[in-house]
Amino acid sequence: MRKNLDELTIMNIKLHLLPKLLKRSISVFLIVLIFGYFSGLDLLKHTTSFNAQGVEQNVLGNEFDENASELHFKMSERELQGIIHSHVIPLSMLFLILSILLFFTSLPPFVKSFLMIEPNVSLMLTFGGLWLLWLGYSEVKYLIMISGVLMHLSIAVIVVLLLKELLFKKAN
């Protein structure tokens, strides 16, 4: 009986009811996190120009395009594996942390459920798509773009909702 009561108490925790110091600490963490996360978008802009052709050129190269202003070679399998490995593991951990925080908000369950799952689905589609693109399935470049945009939007929305809950929602 006691164990069920303790589990119920943990499940009733809400971010906006946490002590002020903890809410501030989590808020600063989220701000630093989003700064670091979105600074990576600048690199993405330089390597892909935020378009499907740029993604394709970055992965498959353009050494046969005589009109290319900058020469790119096809990624080696090892390079692609390194990129996938070094992105998927940390990003999935980041999404888990955000999902746990999101769970303890007062948002409707369907919103929480979608936002807790979507970034990981997009992560898998984006980096799985890069692998398929490298294997020669050039049509997936559009899937990579769409899933990448959804992943970045989801993270932005999650962080904004978490900050709103932590900084502006008052205890009833």
Range of the domain at 142: 20-167
Say if 53 falls within a structural domain.
Answer: yes
- Model pLDDT for residues 122-162, shown as the tens digit of each residue: 999 999 999 999 999 999 999 999 999 999 999 999 999 99
106 with 16: CB under 8 angstroms?
yes
- Sequence-separated (6 or more) residues with CB below 8 Å from residue 88: 123, 124, 127
pLDDT of 3 > 60? The answer is no
* Token couple for 4: 């069920």
pTM: 0.85
- Is the residue at 12 inside a domain? no
Sorting pLDDT into bands at 50, 70 and 90, what band is 72? confident
End-to-end CA distance of the chain: 29
pLDDT, one tens digit per residue, over 89-127 is 999 999 999 999 999 999 999 999 999 999 999 999 999
Q: What's the half-sphere exposure (Cβ side, CA atoms, 13 Å) at 136?
A: 0
Helix axes 20-48, 52-60, angle to 10 degrees: 70
What pLDDT is recorded for position 1? 47
| 128/140 Cα distance (integer angstroms) | 9
Within the chain, residue ranges assigned H as helices are 2-11, 20-48, 52-60, 77-103, 109-134, 140-167
Closest CA to 124 of 93, 92, 100, 102: 92
Q: How many domains is the chain built from?
A: 1
Q: Is residue 115 part of a domain?
A: yes
Question: Does 164 or 63 have the greater pLDDT score?
Answer: 164
Lowest mean pLDDT across 19-28, 72-81, 98-107, 152-161: 72-81
Structure tokens that stand for 162 in this block: 């978490």
Split at pLDDT 50, 70, 90, the class of 43 is confident
| Within a domain: 160 | yes
Q: What is the pLDDT of residue 5?
A: 46
Sign of CA dihedral 59, 63, 67, 69: positive
Domain for residue 104, yes or no?
yes
